[in-house]
Amino acid sequence: MSRVAIVTGAARGIGAATVDALVNENYRVVAVDRCRDISDVPYAMATRADLDVVVRRHGDAVLGLVGDVRSATDMQLAVETATRHFGRLDAAVACAGVLGAGGPLWEISDAAWDAVWSVNVLGTRRLIEAAAPKLISNGKEAHGRIVAVASAAGSTGLLHLAPYTAAKHAVVGLIRGVAMDLAPYGVTANAVSPGSTRTAILEASAKVYGLENVEAFAAQQPIGRLLEPSEIAAAIVWLCSSASSAITGADIAVDGGMTVS
């Protein structure tokens, strides 16, 4: 029987790569994305057309759903859609995330802070609280999985990106806490923390630092290159598998050595 997952932030970047990788492992996926811009996020969000491209790659294996991760109603709809359309839910993957305005903390507006916090932290919470009861109800032997995309920023500090850094630290802490809540039920919860990866967030980061292109970030990573979304997705898919059954509450660095101390 095919396993079923929900992936948020699924229209591009790591989210889209995760949908692709899960389908390659015989998953059926509800691919969720907001598909419209967010006030106080200084770059364009993915579009419905982007989400449709991801869905078309996989035919009946993927169902696209426009939804906002900050909405409890939308995340509950995603869970209901998965169970109604595909018959079950086995994994929930929180890939949705944004980078806000750059600058010293004391120059960041409340609205800009709230935009970053609401998507990265509240959005992760909303998916987990919607999915957890269904994963628990499947029973201990069902290998229920929750994975959240954090960041190398979740274990270090980034110049002029304090809201993003704080939010990603919070995602890691949220996962560690909920992993303890879920442990008695056989459901694992883990974070994956990418380094500099070819995504819209990295392009926005380059603008914060006045860089002409993202290639300059390769120097941050001992492997000497940027990461591809598919490399992050590979780690996510492994954490969704039965092979990762002994791992919970972990923050897995997929960062080319960026945070090795």
Q: What are 101-156's pLDDT values in tens digits?
A: 999 999 999 999 999 999 999 999 999 999 999 999 999 999 999 999 999 999 99
Q: Alpha-carbon distance 207 to 235, whole Å?
A: 28
Residue 164 appears among annotated catalytic residues: yes
- The ranges assigned to domains in the chain are 3-254
* Annotated catalytic residue, options 27, 43, 164, 185: 164
Q: What is the mean pLDDT of residues 200-205?
A: 95
The pLDDT confidence band at residue 192, using thresholds 50, 70 and 90, is very high
Q: Compute the CA torsion angle 72, 74, 75, 81 (nearest 10 deg).
A: 140
Give me the pLDDT at residue 215, please: 96
Residues whose CB is less than 8 angstroms from the CB of residue 207 and which lie 6 or more positions away in sequence, other chains included: 42, 43, 102
Q: What is the mean pLDDT of residues 10-31?
A: 98
Q: Is the pTM of this model over 0.75?
A: yes
Q: What percent of the chain lies above the pLDDT cut of 90?
A: 99
- Residue 8, phi then psi, degrees to nearest 5: -95, 160
Q: What is the mean pLDDT of residues 86-115?
A: 97
Give me the pLDDT at residue 261, please: 64
- Residue 250, phi then psi, degrees to nearest 5: -95, 155
| 3-class DSSP assignment, residue 26 | coil
Q: What is the mean pLDDT of residues 243-255?
A: 97
Asked if CATH classification 3.40.50.720 holds for the domain at 3-254, the reply, yes or no, is yes
3-state helix, strand and coil shares in percent for the chain, rounded to the nearest 5: 50, 15, 35
Residue type, 16: A
The pLDDT confidence band at residue 1, using thresholds 50, 70 and 90, is confident
Strand order in the sheet with 91-94: 62-66, 27-33, 3-8, 91-94, 145-149, 188-194, 251-254
Q: Alpha-carbon distance 171 to 157, whole Å?
A: 15
Q: What is the mean pLDDT of residues 188-208?
A: 96
What's the whole-number average pLDDT of the chain? 97
Going by C-alpha positions, the residue among 36, 176, 19 that lies closest to residue 93 is: 19
In this structure, are residues 152 and 193 in contact, taking their beta carbons and an 8 Å threshold?
yes
In this structure, are residues 116 and 164 in contact, taking their beta carbons and an 8 Å threshold?
yes
Q: What is the largest CA-CA distance in the chain?
A: 53
In this structure, are residues 97 and 119 in contact, taking their beta carbons and an 8 Å threshold?
yes
Is the per-residue pLDDT at 84 higher than 70?
yes
The pLDDT confidence band at residue 75, using thresholds 50, 70 and 90, is very high
